[in-house]
């Protein structure tokens, strides 16, 4: 059964416990000065698989308020990164995580370009760099444990469970509480993701990429790739045909110069 996490932005108070849990669990370094994990400057980096970004927004009464948005890989149902990887170093597992196998990776960085959310980061300073992104704690999930960040949150910002159940809950929450905007970020984005968000603030104000298409991106490519075999056969056939005709003509050695039809049809 595929797992999902629902993040309720309104409940987060920005303690950053989740970011520490992630670093503890995954053995990532800390660099508060250059790569902070919480606050207005917080950004996903090679060592920050998750961050809590701070946003100043306006609440219903017109007052400036703060919101904290816990960000990490969204674990697409149809991940563009995995579809882009030429060695299958990124894989969608059955439980939901999109997992990275560093030993396979060749470091072409196409996944970074491919991800519509700009999630995969790179260890630019290392001699033998790896792509770096949240693994949704796949090894914990395998033991049926919640991701580390989920389990440490003091406010229950994140709910972990079976994806259908989680989606149902998300729908129920935004339907029953009128503070929430009527959008579940991640329900449809890029064809749906395992991490979903609900919020009382428009998502673009919380630094979410809202231009992301609803269609799954690999589908675009697949539309092209799946034509290749046929094209290959047809194109090869045509070329062989033309080649043979040309040759026969030459063999006949007509005295006239060969007249050619446009070859590129």
For residues 94 to 113, the per-residue mask of contacts with other proteins, x marking binding by CB under 8 A and - elsewhere, is -----xxxxxxxxxxxx-xx
Least separation in angstroms between CB 219 and ligand SF4:
18
| Size of residue set near other proteins by CB under 8 A | 129
Q: Which does 70 bind (CB under 5 to 8 A by kind): other proteins, ligand SF4, none?
A: ligand SF4
**Residue pointed to by tokens 């092209």:** 224
Contact criterion met (CB below 8 Å) for 50 and 195:
no
Cα–Cα distance between 178 and 169 in angstroms, integer? 15
- Does 27 engage in binding with other proteins (CB under 8 A)? yes
Nearer Cβ to other proteins (182/211): 211
Which does residue 72 touch among other proteins, ligand SF4, none (CB within 5 to 8 A, set by kind)?
ligand SF4
Closest CA to 153 of 4, 7, 3: 7
Please identify, using beta-carbon distances, which residue of 172 and 225 lies nearer to other proteins.
225
Contact set for other proteins, span 155-214 (CB under 8 A) = 155, 159-161, 200, 211-213
147/167 Cα distance (integer angstroms): 18
Smallest gap, in angstroms, from Cβ of residue 172 to other proteins?
18
**DSSP 3-state of 159:** strand
User: What's the CA angle centered on 148, arms 6 and 198, to 5 degrees?
Assistant: 15
Contacts of 46 by beta carbon, 8 Å cutoff, 6+ apart: 121, 122, 123, 124, 129, 130, 132
Residue 50 in contact with other proteins, rule: CB under 8 A: no
SS (H, E, C) 14-29: CCCHHHHHHHHHHCCC
Say whether residue 256 binds other proteins (CB under 8 A).
no
Q: How far apart are CA 100 and CA 26, in angstroms?
A: 13
Q: Which CB, 55 or 249, lies closer to ligand SF4?
A: 55
Q: How far is the CB of 131 from other proteins (least distance, A)?
A: 8
Candidate residues 4, 137, 170, 194; the one interacting with other proteins per rule CB under 8 A: 137
Q: How far apart are the first and last CA of the chain?
A: 49
Residue number with CB closer to other proteins (143 or 182): 143
Smallest distance from other proteins to CB 204, Å: 14
């Amino acid at each position: 059964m595929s797992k999902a996490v629902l993040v309720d932005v309104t409940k987060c108070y920005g303690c950053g416990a989740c970011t520490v849990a992630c670093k503890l669990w995954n053995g990532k370094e800390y660099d508060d000065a250059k790569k902070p994990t919480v606050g207005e400057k917080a950004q996903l980096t090679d060592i920050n698989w998750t961050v809590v970004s701070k946003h100043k927004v306006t609440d219903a009464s017109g007052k400036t308020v703060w919101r904290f948005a816990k960000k990490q890989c969204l674990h697409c149902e149809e991940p563009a990164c995995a579809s882009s990887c030429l060695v299958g170093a990124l894989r969608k597992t059955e439980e939901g995580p999109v997992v990275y196998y560093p030993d396979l990776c060749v470091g072409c960085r196409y996944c970074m370009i491919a991800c519509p959310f700009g999630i995969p980061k790179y260890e630019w300073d290392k001699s033998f760099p790896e792509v770096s992104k949240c693994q949704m704690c796949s090894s914990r999930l395998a033991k049926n444990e919640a991701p580390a960040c989920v389990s440490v949150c003091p406010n229950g910002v994140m709910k972990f469970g079976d994806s259908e159940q989680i989606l149902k809950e998300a729908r129920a929450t935004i339907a029953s509480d009128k503070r929430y905007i009527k959008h579940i970020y991640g329900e449809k984005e890029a064809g749906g993701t395992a991490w979903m968000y609900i919020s009382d603030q428009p998502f673009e104000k919380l630094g979410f990429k809202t231009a992301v298409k609803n269609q799954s991106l690999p589908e675009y490519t697949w539309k092209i790739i799946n034509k290749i075999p046929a094209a290959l056969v047809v194109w090869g056939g045509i070329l062989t045909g033309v080649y043979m005709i040309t040759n026969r003509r030459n063999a006949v050695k007509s005295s006239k110069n060969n007249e050619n039809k446009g070859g590129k049809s």
